[in-house]
């Protein structure tokens, strides 16, 4: 346990239950239930940092609840919080911002202007120990260097903006605390470790290999949409528009679709109100007006984002036998694609989107990933 000055103030090893969840493109979270001890009130103070052996992630204490049962005499403290990525939620994109370029450039601009080195007059928005080091990992660079986009944000939290960019290309992001007590932002991506590739050892979770103890499959198509009509600035029939489907952007007409567009019962339409996207650039973006092509690209980017939020979902939860077989943090990591099989004969490729560690006084310790299957 570290305080807000990053001093280690305690080791907490007596608790009733604990849940620690790390995620690929979301903030992680924790819940810790302890028998009442007044010392905990100062140790687990708001904004203090909780770390866990075996992971580079850290959590921030955000809430506390004290419950007392007079009939039994039991008193319990429940603490909750989120991972360091939640720091990005403390800042918003202060002014309307049009961003165009590589993923690294877009995210670096968002972090620099709102957290790392805000412009003159906004120095109080700076977080002094927050850094985004130059990406040097050749594997990561080979993936992200060719990824480009055009996007516009107005008033969104930096967390939302960063997540929007990363979700567009299925990239992960995290914030860790280094030895110099700096918040280190980094991008990463999941590797293919399925049986269908030959570059790395395949990771298979299956009862057959005693690596999958139990499983739960769930699919939901209720909110699935596969084509979006995006309407931007202006009014009535003059509103500027784009049609997005299947990873493609069509031109600006209401009826501008080709034969590849979804049709019949397979077509599920989504309306996207993007009137907040403006073609007039602010002074911070050099002023002037976007070309029709530039503005259309911005509308398309919003459409991609909204369709990403309306994907069909298929989730495969499985409790992993963590004492044998592939080990999390060594053999596989958040974002990786693996092969999973269950006792019903289902076999599929899936991405690890979160990893949960849980301890319960009655059930003991368990650890398991959440698998989201490829669409």
CA angle 273, 162, 30 (to 5 degrees): 110
User: How many residues does the structure list for the chain?
Assistant: 375
Identify the DSSP state of 113.
I
Between CA 352 and CA 370 the distance in angstroms is 6
Q: Angle 158-168/103-111 helices, nearest 10 degrees? A: 170
Residue-level pLDDT at 284: 64
CA–CA distance, 99 with 277 (Å, rounded to integer) = 12
Q: Furthest-apart CA pair in the chain: how many Å?
A: 71
Mean pLDDT of all residues in 124-148: 92
Distances (CA, A) of 360 to 20, 303, 318: 12, 43, 18
69 neighbors 51 (Cβ within 8 angstroms): no
When pLDDT is cut at 50, 70 and 90, the band that residue 191 belongs to is very high
| 8 A C-beta contact, residue 319 and residue 366 | yes
In tens, the pLDDT along 337-364 reads 998 887 766 678 889 999 999 998 777 8
Helix (H) or strand (E) holding 40: helix 38-43
pLDDT at position 228 over 80: yes
Regarding beta strands 183-188 and 130-131, do their DSSP bridges make them parallel or antiparallel, or are they unpaired?
parallel
Token pair recorded at residue 274: 């993007």
Q: Which helix (H) or strand (E) holds 248?
A: strand 248-249
Q: Rounded distance, CA 371 to CA 203, Å?
A: 13
pLDDT tens profile 33-43: 998 888 888 88
Contact 162, 109 (CB under 8 A): no
Tell me if residue 297 falls in helix, strand or coil: helix
Q: What is the pLDDT of residue 187?
A: 96
What's the pLDDT score for residue 317?
Answer: 66
Question: 234 and 252 in contact (C-beta within 8 Å)?
Answer: no
Band (pLDDT 50/70/90 cuts) for residue 323 is: confident
Confidence band for 106, pLDDT divided at 50, 70 and 90: very high
């Amino acid at each position: 346990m570290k305080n807000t000055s990053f001093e280690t103030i305690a080791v907490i090893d007596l608790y009733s239950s604990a849940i620690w969840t790390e995620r690929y493109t979301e903030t992680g979270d924790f819940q810790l239930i302890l028998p009442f001890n007044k010392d905990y009130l100062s140790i687990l103070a708001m904004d203090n940092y909780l770390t866990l052996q075996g992971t580079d992630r850290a959590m921030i204490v955000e809430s506390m609840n004290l419950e007392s049962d007079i009939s039994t005499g039991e008193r319990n403290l429940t603490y909750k919080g989120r991972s360091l990525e939640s720091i990005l939620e403390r800042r918003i994109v202060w002014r309307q911002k049009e961003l165009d370029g590589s993923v690294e450039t877009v995210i670096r601009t968002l972090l620099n202007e709102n957290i790392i080195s805000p412009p003159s007059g906004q120095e109080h928005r700076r977080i002094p120990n927050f850094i985004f080091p130059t990406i040097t990992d050749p594997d990561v660079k080979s993936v992200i260097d060719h990824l480009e986009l055009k996007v516009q944000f107005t008033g969104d939290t930096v967390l939302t903006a960063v997540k929007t960019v990363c979700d567009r290309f299925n990239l992960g992001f995290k914030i860790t605390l280094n030895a110099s007590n700096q918040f280190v932002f980094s991008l990463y991506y999941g590797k293919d470790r399925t049986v269908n590739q030959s570059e790395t050892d395949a990771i298979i979770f299956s009862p057959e290999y005693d690596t999958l103890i139990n499983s739960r499959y769930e699919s939901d198509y209720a909110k699935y949409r596969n084509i979006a009509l995006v309407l931007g600035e202006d009014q009535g029939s003059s509103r500027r528009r784009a049609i997005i489907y299947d990873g493609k952007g069509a031109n600006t007409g209401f009826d501008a679709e080709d034969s590849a567009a979804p049709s019949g019962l397979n077509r599920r339409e989504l309306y996207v109100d993007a009137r907040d996207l403006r073609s007039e650039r602010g002074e911070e973006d050099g002023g002037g007006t976007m070309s029709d092509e530039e503005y259309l690209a911005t509308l398309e980017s919003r459409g991609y984002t909204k369709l990403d939020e309306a994907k069909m979902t298929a989730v495969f939860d499985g409790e992993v036998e963590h004492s044998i077989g592939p080990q999390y943090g060594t053999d596989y990591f958040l974002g990786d694609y693996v092969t999973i099989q269950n006792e019903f004969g289902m076999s599929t490729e899936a991405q690890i989107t979160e990893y949960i560690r849980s301890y319960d006084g009655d059930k003991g310790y368990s650890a398991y990933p959440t698998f989201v299957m490829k669409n």
